[in-house]
Amino acid sequence: MFLKMAVGVIDKIMVGQLGESAIAGVGVAEQLVFFLLMLFSSISAGVNALASQSVGAGRYDTLRPIFGSAMITGFVSAIFFNCVFLIWPGELLTLLGANAEIASAGTVYLKITSFSVICITLTFMMTAVFRAFADNKTPMYASVAAIIINTLLAFLFIFVFGLGIAGAAWAALIARFSELFIMAYFFERKKDKMRLAIADSFIFDKKTFGEIFKVGWPVTLDMLVWQLAGIVTTFMILNLGTAAAGANEVIKMMQGAALMPVVGVAMAASSLVGQRLGRADFAGARRIADRIVKISFFMVLLISAATALAAFKIPAIFNFGPEAKILASNSILILCLFQIIFVLNICVPAILRSGGDTKAIIYISGSAMWLIGLPLAYALGIFFKMGLYGIIIGVNTGEAAKGMLFYRRYKQGLWMKKII
């Protein structure tokens, strides 16, 4: 997951050499793609929960309809959104609050990378199946290849051929398609072990899809609420000006880098916990879950400390003005203080989903962000004119509150149940 995110980070570092408006445009365009992928997370979450418990219970016959139903649904949905991003990129970016300069840069990037929505979605589904078998190395190999391809092509297209933002977009598109083909290759290589093959992508079972949706729809609603909150936050920041928008992309990049290792651990947790729940080994599931929470805290503590030490050196990588560099540096320090608490927002929901306890996630996310985080961000950032600092403090206070509520739900143990 860290390597997958690194494809976007490399884009930002290279595009950052083109100026604040360029990196802001790419960042807003990527947020639209990420928003879409969060909508597909219901399918992926349902696949991972059902497939993990099927593997744990030894019921491999149920894997084919689970995989096929997810692949077909993901493909059809991706085609639709690919067309939306291709036809109305400028209008969508303007709706998010991007000014003409930022929207122009983002349009160039989004038009090209819109074609990667399909391969990202299908890779998402295959990764969920690999995770069900606790095989996290195979997706990593595909991501390693993708990041090497993206790095080489981005440098070549941007700086040698002088394609600018379009060069970054073409590099990302080629890298993501390469990742899909490599993933499919490994999927076929392991078909005997998993009792699945790429050909099973064409199997659709209405009943199985209903089970996937039943487990996963709360995840989509949760992600929708979360992403809408992110869009509102972006809207507020874009209205602060290009310097704040550029600094915000650096902040998001660093936050992603700090928390992405926990995302990987959380994904592993959901598979390992799910397998034990499938065997009705509830004590074993609890032991693994407790360890995951402790490991996540330790990882983020170390990463946050290292990030804080480098806070004033990171923005220097980008071709920003003095104002944007100062905003980015101070905001990174603020983030480091909050990350220790809201790491729970990543590892705990993954554990809850493994046992089908997903509805509570919606209520917790919605109440924390929309009743605490966003109102406080507006009050501090806009009303009291604290600008970017106020918005970041407000949003992350909401994230911290959400983390504590998630932990309380986790300790109640309602997630420890067999769902297959």
pTM: 0.70
33 has pLDDT over 90: no
d(CA 240, CA 314): 22
- Please report whether residue 417 resides in a domain: no
Share of the chain above pLDDT 70, in %: 95
More confident residue, 371 or 355: 371
The DSSP output letter for 373 is I
Do 348 and 293 form a contact (C-beta atoms < 8 A)? yes
Non-local CB neighbours of 236 within 8 Å, separated by 6+ positions? 97, 377, 378, 381, 382, 391
Per-residue confidence (pLDDT) for residue 115, from 0 to 100: 92
In whole angstroms, give the CA distance from residue 291 to residue 288.
5
Using 50, 70 and 90 to split pLDDT, how confident is the model at 134?
Answer: confident
Position 215 pLDDT exceeds 80:
no
Q: Which ranges in 310-418 belong to alpha helices (H)?
A: 322-342, 344-354, 359-368, 374-378, 387-412
**How many domains is the chain partitioned into structurally?**
1
Confirm whether 292 is domain-assigned.
yes
Domain assignment of residue 227, yes or no: yes
| 304 found inside a domain | yes
Residues spanned by the domain of 213: 2-412
Q: Kindly tell me the sign of the dihedral angle through the C-alpha atoms of 59, 61, 62, 64.
A: positive
> Which two three-digit tokens encode residue 215?
């487990």
Distance CA 51, CA 420 (A): 9
User: Which band of pLDDT confidence, cut at 50, 70 and 90, is reported for residue 35?
Assistant: confident
Buried b (16+ CB within 10 A) or exposed e, 105-133: bbbbbbbbbbbbbbbbbbbbbbbbbbbbb
Domain contains 419: no
Q: Is residue 243 part of a domain?
A: yes
Query: Has residue 231 been placed in a domain?
Result: yes
Contact 267, 131 (CB under 8 A): yes
Residue 39 has pLDDT above 70, yes or no: no
Tokens matching residue 105:
């840069």
Q: Which two tokens stand for residue 109?
A: 């990037």
Cα 160 from Cα 153, distance rounded (Å): 10
pLDDT one-digit tens code per residue, 332-353: 999 998 988 878 888 888 888 8
For residue 416 the two structure tokens come to 């420890």
Residue 257: pLDDT above 90?
no
182 occurs within a structural domain: yes
Tens of pLDDT along 268-284? 777 788 888 888 899 99
